[in-house]
């Protein structure tokens, strides 16, 4: 059995972690937890050479400089430069088209946090086995709270090491999310997938033939430049963007899932980052110069100025350059709507 090929997707700019994430410093390339950036950590956790092949990285032109800077010179990786942002289905198809049909791809977003690498590698192995049997496999992230910001997967019939997917569920309201959590057979859809390149392309050809044709044409007419691969822009630009869930996973008869309890977080906002971090006995987490007096569940992050906080509860404070953000946990959902986050 061949090694798993990590396919690392670097998309989006991300305004919800503003002022840390900005268009010039997208989220994957920030060290949000620990010393490594999320991108570096994504590569690191799929780097065991006995299990994983060198990665394929799919990214927009704006991200290439960050990627080259954070990828060692010697790294044996291919970087596919998306001519345009067209969501995840075309991005994954580009990688699939560059691989042998029987290669197992492991699709990994580059801006998530996974606390338990061993559990991740274990789940990747299980997913790879199902992929070898022709399944298109999603990671079913162990749901630990009634999140309304994620899509859900409902477990179907058991397979060896996993389950069929009975249903893809859109982001629910709170009542439904609580029902899912109570039912126990719903997992979060974390955007991690495993399948053989050929199986993916075959399903894409069946369900999205125009996209399939455009990706193959863009790849055939593409050009290599060192480890960079540039698909043809004219072909790719014409694609109608769509997520892999909509284009393929919800349509295939071969959808499967593997359970994954691995301390996953999409770090979708400041509250999520706070919760993913190590905190002290009062739930506080401070990086940079800070003094917290009578504070509970307070996160402080400063790139320089000292932050002094008194009497706060469930608050995030971020100082970055000439921007200061102070938000409640609940307010963290709205950060992307601030003037600063939209570059005004």
Q: Residue numbers of the site for a copy of itself (CB under 8 A)?
A: 19, 291, 293-294, 302, 304-312, 315, 317, 319, 321-328, 330-332, 334-335, 337-341
Residue 84's SS3 state is coil
CA gap 288, 302 in Å, rounded: 5
Beta-bridged to residue 186, according to DSSP, are: 154
d(CA 206, CA 196) in angstroms, rounded, equals: 16
Identify which of 70, 73, 147, 140 has the alpha carbon closest to the alpha carbon of residue 111: 70
Cβ 319 to a copy of itself, closest distance in Å? 6
CB of 289 to a copy of itself, least distance (A): 9
Nearer to a copy of itself, 48 or 294 (CB): 294
CB of 174 to a copy of itself, least distance (A): 18
Pairing of strands 152-159, 223-225: unpaired
| Residue 307 beta carbon to a copy of itself: minimum distance, rounded to whole angstroms | 5
Q: Nearest distance from residue 173's CB to a copy of itself, in Å?
A: 20
Please report how close the Cβ of residue 33 comes to a copy of itself at its closest, in angstroms.
22
Complex with a copy of itself: residue 15 or 42, whichever CB lies closer: 15
Residue 316 pairs with which residues in a beta bridge?
Answer: 299, 327
**In contact, 129 and 215? CB cutoff 8 Å:** no
Task: Tell me how far apart the alpha carbons of residues 111 and 33 are, in angstroms, rounded to a whole number.
Answer: 11
Comparing CB distances to a copy of itself, the nearer of 144 and 308 is 308
Closest CA to 195 of 165, 229, 154, 232: 165
CA atoms of 27 and 128, how far apart (whole Å):
28
Give 130 or 335: the residue with its C-beta nearer to a copy of itself: 335
Rg (CA), the chain: 20
Q: Which residue, 87 or 269, has its beta carbon nearer to a copy of itself? A: 269
For residue 57, the SS3 value is strand
- Do 106 and 128 contact (CB within 8 A), yes or no? yes
Distance in Å from the first CA to the final CA of the chain: 52
C-alpha span between 205 and 73 (Å, rounded):
36
Asked if 233 and 83 touch (Cβ cutoff 8 Å), the reply is: yes
Residue number with CB closer to a copy of itself (13 or 251): 13
258/307 with CB nearer a copy of itself: 307
Minimum separation from the CB atom of position 286 to a copy of itself (A):
12
> Tokens 């509250």, residue?
271
- Of 258 and 309, which has the nearer Cβ to a copy of itself? 309
Can you tell me which residue has the tokens 């859809």? 189
Closest distance of CB 20 from a copy of itself, Å: 13
């Amino acid at each position: 059995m061949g090694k798993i090929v990590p396919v690392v997707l670097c998309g989006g700019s991300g305004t919800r972690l503003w002022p840390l994430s900005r268009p010039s410093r997208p989220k994957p390339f920030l060290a949000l937890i620990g010393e490594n950036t999320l991108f570096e950590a994504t590569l690191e956790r799929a780097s065991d050479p006995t299990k994983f092949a060198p990665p394929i990285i799919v990214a927009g032109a704006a991200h290439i400089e960050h990627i080259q800077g954070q990828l060692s010179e010697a790294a044996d990786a291919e970087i596919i430069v998306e001519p345009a942002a067209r969501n995840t289905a075309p991005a994954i198809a580009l990688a699939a088209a560059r691989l042998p049909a029987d290669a197992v791809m492991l699709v990994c977003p580059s801006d998530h946090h996974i606390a338990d690498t061993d559990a991740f590698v274990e789940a990747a192995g299980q997913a790879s086995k199902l992929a070898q049997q022709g399944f298109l496999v999603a990671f079913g992230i162990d749901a630990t709270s009634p999140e309304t910001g994620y899509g859900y997967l409902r477990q179907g019939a058991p397979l060896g090491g996993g389950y069929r997917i009975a249903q893809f569920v859109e982001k629910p309201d709170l009542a439904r999310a609580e029902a899912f959590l109570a039912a126990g057979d719903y997992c979060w859809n974390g955007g991690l997938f495993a399948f053989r390149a050929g199986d993916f392309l075959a399903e894409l050809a069946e369900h999205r033939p125009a996209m399939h044709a455009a990706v193959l044409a863009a790849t055939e007419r593409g050009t290599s430049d060192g480890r960079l691969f540039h698909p043809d822009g004219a072909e790719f630009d014409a694609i109608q963007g769509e997520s892999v869930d909509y284009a393929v996973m919800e349509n295939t008869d071969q959808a499967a899932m593997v359970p994954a309890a691995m301390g996953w977080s999409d770090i979708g906002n400041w509250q999520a980052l706070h919760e993913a971090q190590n905190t002290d006995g009062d739930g506080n987490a401070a990086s940079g110069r800070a003094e917290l007096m009578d504070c509970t569940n307070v996160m402080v992050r400063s790139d320089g100025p000292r932050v002094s906080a008194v009497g706060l509860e469930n608050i995030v404070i971020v100082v970055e350059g000439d921007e200061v953000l102070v938000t409640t946990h609940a307010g963290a959902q709205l950060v992307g709507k601030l003037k600063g986050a939209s570059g005004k």
